[in-house]
Amino acid sequence: MKIIAGNWKMNGSRDALETMVQDLASVKSDNKVILCVPFTMLGAKSGRVAIGAQDVSAHTHGAYTGEVSAKMIADTGAKYVIVGHSECRQYHGDTNSVVRQKAELALANGLTPIICVGETMDEKQAGKTMAVIESGVRESVPADVNTDIIIAYEPRWAIGAGLTPTSAEIAEAHTLIAKTLSDMGLAGTPVLYGASVKGSNAAEIMSISNVDGVLVGGASLKSDDFIPIITSVK
């Protein structure tokens, strides 16, 4: 079984989510499907699809206008939340330590955090990919967790760009992440690959060892694009 997670980013509507849920209802697959949607769509009926948010406040409650807490997300029935997405690191300045705080609050409220790590193009060109990935995992994952977290390796330069690393590069990154998690006592934690996943490359990417599923942005918005990814692997 693989995990196929969609990230709608700031797209869609409640109607679009209802249509997607209906379209997914008839898909024959044992894979776990998660849709991470904007806050306004949380709480919708979602059938067999698990729902997640895309970010969470690093604070528990109080005077943080515009922010949404982990407890509030859990209150909608959502089960997952993405933390440390490249766009939150880039536009909101989320550092590994903020990401870790967010992941801790998610866990404390019964949500599974999908913790994103990955290198920028500058870091890649400077030969720092492996170091960034390893420190991302070590510094963003809360201490004292069991395996109720998901890691997503998303090379930041490849997101939304139609670019993907080579299979060898993905394998190298995922092997390092699996080893790091194992060193941290978290062997068995699922690790997803994300960035420019589509129907035509999903099966190949998910055949790489230590790739337990995918995190899909653009291609998760329409069922014609998303369903082939879900059904590309058993």
Does residue number 217 form part of the binding site for ligand PGA (CB under 6 A)?
Answer: yes
Question: Is 154 an active-site residue?
Answer: yes
Q: Report which of 28, 27, 32 is spatially closest to residue 3, judged by C-alpha positions.
A: 32
Show the site string, 95-114: x = touches ligand PGA by CB under 6 A, - = not: --------------------
Could you tell me the CA-to-CA distances from 9 to 94, 131, 188 in Å, in that order? Answer: 16, 27, 28
Report the 10 Å Cβ neighbour count for 202.
Answer: 23
Question: Is 67 an active-site residue?
Answer: no
Does residue number 160 form part of the binding site for ligand PGA (CB under 6 A)?
Answer: yes
CA separation for the pair 58, 228 (Å, rounded)? 35
Could you tell me the CA-to-CA distances from 164 to 18, 96, 125, 169, 191 in Å, in that order? Answer: 30, 24, 15, 9, 17
CA separation for the pair 123, 118 (Å, rounded)? 9
The maximal CA–CA distance of the chain, rounded, in angstroms, is: 47
Position with the least CB separation from ligand PGA:
217
Q: Which is nearer to ligand PGA, 142 or 218 (CB)?
A: 218
Does residue number 77 form part of the binding site for ligand PGA (CB under 6 A)?
Answer: no
Exactly one of 20, 215, 227, 230 binds ligand PGA (CB under 6 A); that residue is: 215
Residues sharing a CB contact under 8 Å with residue 139, sequence separation 6 or more, in sequence order: 96, 97, 99, 100
Show the site string, 185-214: x = touches ligand PGA by CB under 6 A, - = not: ---------xxxx-----------------
Catalytic residue selected from 87, 104, 119, 154: 154
Does residue number 154 form part of the binding site for ligand PGA (CB under 6 A)?
Answer: yes
Residues marked active site are found at 85, 154
Which chain residues interact with ligand PGA by CB under 6 A? 7, 154, 159-160, 194-197, 215-219
